[in-house]
Structure 1
Amino acid sequence: MTAPTEVFPPTLREVMLRPWWIGMLLLCLVVAGVFAWLGQWQLGRAITEAQVAEGETEQVRPISEIVQPGEYLPEPFVGQRVEVSGTWIGADFLPVTGRYNDGVEGYWVTGQLRLTEASEPTSLAVAIGFAATEDDALAAAAQLEGTVGTTVTLTGRLVSDEGPLPPPPGADPQEMIRMSPAALLGRWHDVEGLDVYRPYLVSDSADAGLADISSPPPAAGSAVNWLNLFYAAEWAVFAGFAFYIWYRLARDAWEKEVEELEDAAAS
């Protein structure tokens, strides 16, 4: 009876030290190095981009220096005071409910301001002032209709879109409970070919008998852009994954080779 052939399969380490797999490891090092560089770049942006000098938001600047129509408001400039000039569009003085002003619940009266400095038709949603009751808000809106066509210059704070939200069940379907330029745009007039700013302006000074909206300076926060920080962590994971792929492929090749040798010896 013939004795079975003795098999001496290679170890995983021996397979990994073969020229092919060493070459693959060098390629993975290059890929991981690129990912690491991208992660470092994102990390640098996360820390430096969000840094705004103390009091910078209180310096009134042209809106064009802060954000462009259709763009999201960069985090460092939320609450930035800006100056704009334009004319009100008629029939677009709309109330937003559920607003609080120094602890008092009421309404904001909003308007569509067509900017005069823009080369293309461009509008900015403006929170004009606060009213304690719906009747006061509607009366102010009616009074503001008399200012349509007159150029006005406003200063105020830029605030990010709150996002549209439907009214609660049983409420008026036209009621707006969030300050959202996207929602206001759906009810504005003269919007064909119109560019619109995503953030809105909280006016410093109210009109038409409305109360000024309380809009204190933004609280000093962390000088970290968390989105960029997340991207930096992602690139670090990708770099580690490149080495895992190399290890997994080398191990699969080793297991396949061992299996083939054992099958050959058994047959």
Structure 2
Amino acid sequence: MLRPRWIGVLAVCLVVAGVFAWLGQWQLSRAIDTSPPPPGSTEVVRPLDDVVAPGDYLEEPLVGQRVDVSGTWVPDDFIVVSSRFNDGVEGYWVTGQLRVTDSPSPVSLAVAVGWTSDKAQAEAAASDLSAQAAASPALVDLTGRIISDEGAAVPAKTDPQEIPRMSPAALLSRWHDTADLEVYRPYLTAAEPMGGLEAISSPAPAEGSNVNWLNIFYAAEWAVFAGFAFYLWYRLARDAWEKEIEDLEDAAGETAA
């Protein structure tokens, strides 16, 4: 084991183990958030642009943050989204395209304006809201919770036009006047319902722990990998040593014979 060849292999293992140890330390440093958001911070209403920018992903601590935003509704872009639950009851959301003001270029935000358990009522509300937006394109001020995009879903076989998940990307494919349009990735659940619909149940997010146990698990994995590097060197060197001993014993046996 003290031969130059195996000392060189040991040096390589030391370098590899050092890299693994550094990665483990890095994971540990990310495992504990030393400056978590204060309790109740999501309930303080903040301007939308202070929370997320158009096209950006919503950071985890800000999911459910109450925000306010101003804009105008785009006519004919009130769309029904299915599979929406309000306090355990399945129903429908009516969503709209809000063209945000105070932006140098066109920017839109998907907004869920209300809930109902009846599909016909949801479709009627969407039609009425579209007609109102076309008749009087007034500026509106909204307050609600900003929520991460749920992602698009495979269209239902029974109705390919049905949207079963709240995804601004999926709604964008149905919106009008989208040339050079920027879109917020998350969506807003309005605090006050519209169109005779019920308010969307959107409680405050649960306070999370400032300890990320997944990162701690990864740090432990890197420690195991570092130990395995030394074990691999020991096993290879010992196997080579045992092979040399066996060869010497066989040679000695042949000489005696």
Check whether TM > 0.5. yes
Cα offset, 1:256, TM superposition: 7.3
Letter in 2 for 1:152: V
Q: 1:232 — aligned with what?
A: 219
Matches within 5 A, 1:41-56: 41-48=26-33, 51-56=36-41
1:34 paired to 2:29: no
Identity %, equivalent residues:
64
How far, CA to CA, are the matches of 2:249 and 2:182 in structure 1? 71
Q: 2:125 — aligned with what?
A: 140
- Bigger Cα displacement from structure 2, 250-259 vs 29-38: 250-259
The normalised TM-score by structure 2 is 0.80
CA contact (8 A) 1:50 1:225 kept: no
How far, CA to CA, are the matches of 1:259 and 1:118 in structure 2? 80
> Pairwise CA RMSD of aligned residues?
3.1
1:194 paired to 2:181: yes
CA contact (8 A) 2:156 2:162 kept: no
Match of 1:128 among 113, 116, 122: 113
Letter in 1 for 2:117: A
For each residue in 1:135-182, what CA deviation from the matched residue of structure 2 results, as whole angstroms up to 9, or x when unmatched? Answer: 22122212222235433222211222222223544x211111111222
For each residue in 1:59-101, what CA deviation from the matched residue of structure 2 results, as whole angstroms up to 9, or x when unmatched? Answer: 1123333333333322222211122222222222101112222
Match of 1:213 among 186, 200, 225: 200
Q: Cα distance 1:258–1:151, how it changes in 2: closer, same or farther (>3 A)?
A: farther
How far, CA to CA, are the matches of 1:246 and 1:207 in structure 2? 69
1:151 paired to 2:139: yes
Name the SS for the 1:48 alignment partner: coil
The normalised TM-score by structure 1 is 0.77
How far, CA to CA, are the matches of 2:118 and 2:14 in structure 1? 66
How far, CA to CA, are the matches of 2:60 and 2:91 in structure 1? 28
Cα offset, 1:194, TM superposition: 3.1
Name the SS for the 2:31 alignment partner: helix
Letter in 2 for 1:196: V
How far, CA to CA, are the matches of 1:194 and 1:263 in structure 2? 81
Gaps of 5+ in 1: 1-14
Q: Cα distance 1:248–1:132, how it changes in 2: closer, same or farther (>3 A)?
A: same
How far, CA to CA, are the matches of 1:204 and 1:193 in structure 2? 29
Letter in 1 for 2:189: V
How far, CA to CA, are the matches of 2:181 and 2:224 in structure 1? 42
Cα offset, 1:233, TM superposition: 4.3
Letter in 2 for 1:41: W
Q: 1:84 — aligned with what?
A: 69
How far, CA to CA, are the matches of 1:190 and 1:58 in structure 2? 34
Cα offset, 1:103, TM superposition: 3.9
How far, CA to CA, are the matches of 1:153 and 1:64 in structure 2? 14
How far, CA to CA, are the matches of 1:234 and 1:69 in structure 2? 37
Q: 1:68 — aligned with what?
A: 53
Name the SS for the 2:70 alignment partner: strand
Matches within 5 A, 1:11-22: 15=1, 17-22=2-7
Q: How many residues align?
A: 251
Gaps of 5+ in 2: none
Cα offset, 1:254, TM superposition: 4.9
Name the SS for the 1:140 alignment partner: helix
Q: 2:165 — aligned with what?
A: 178
Name the SS for the 2:208 alignment partner: coil
